[in-house]
Amino acid sequence: MSESYRLKDRFSHIWHFPSRKRFFALIDEHLQNIAGKTVLDYGCGRGQASLKYLGRGAVVHGIDISPEYIEDAARSARRAGYSEEQFHFAVMDAHTLEFDDDTFDLVVGFGILHHLDAEAALREIHRVLKPGGRVLLQEPLADNPLLKLFRLLTPHARTEDEAPFTGRDVDRLSDDRHWQIELAYCGLIEAPLAMVTSVIAPNRPDNWLLRWADYLERWTHDQGILLAWNQYVLFNMMKKG
């Protein structure tokens, strides 16, 4: 993972193109009014996102497969002045969540589901969500040929269990029998172009090429064109009552 971030930092515009900023602003909209809510930080890592949720008044449970990360997350929350009643971090298998049914108002994860048996993991998320609860999962997509080439050329930047989702995967996982679903995308045109502009205009992340690409990309999203060729998809799903 750290190698992946180092590579992306070499192409710094990849963090700042317009559709990416809009995509993550959409996620943040659902994280604004979480005071008093019970939130599961799904794959919490060292707890950076958990601290944000705590700062907005949520009760936070964080899970991760790494004991080191869990220790760091708990240590960070204590250092920030939060009490043990406000947070709980635990090493846990996401396929078998150790929580009661209907526990959480919100489950949030960034780039976790594509490391798992996604269907089994979503069944567990559905079980622990309250009726009307929401899950926000940002995940990478597999179908863009240029992104495929980038992954082929950078094999050490990802783990062996990593399997970005194809368009067929997204269709399969978007099961509307149990969920009210909205999907959002970013990076069809802007992600590859951002790598180019990082080289030719490194000090200008807000450049006319990316603004032009954003106009075109928004049109493709509105028309439903090549959605699985985007860099990311957001599964924004509410559990049906």
Alpha carbon distance 26, 21 (integer Å):
9
Alpha carbon distance 157, 163 (integer Å):
13
Q: Above pLDDT 90, what percent of the chain?
A: 82
Task: Evaluate whether 73 touches 64 at the Cβ level (below 8 Å).
Answer: yes
Q: By mean pLDDT, which of 109-113, 142-146, 150-154, 232-236 is the weakest?
A: 150-154
pLDDT band at 175 (very low <50, low <70, confident <90, very high): confident
List CB contacts of 102: < 8 A, sequence separation 6 or more: 128, 129, 130, 131, 133
Task: Evaluate whether 54 touches 77 at the Cβ level (below 8 Å).
Answer: yes
Which secondary structure element, helix H or strand E, spans residue 73, and what is its range?
A: helix 67-79
Q: Above pLDDT 70, what percent of the chain?
A: 91
pLDDT at 241 (0 to 100): 77
List CB contacts of 80: < 8 A, sequence separation 6 or more: 51, 54
Domains of the chain by residue range: 2-31+128-239
pLDDT at 7 (0 to 100): 60
The closest of 125, 127, 148 to 235, measured between CA atoms, is 125
More confident residue, 62 or 16: 62
The closest of 74, 71, 125, 79 to 103, measured between CA atoms, is 125
pLDDT at 133 (0 to 100): 98
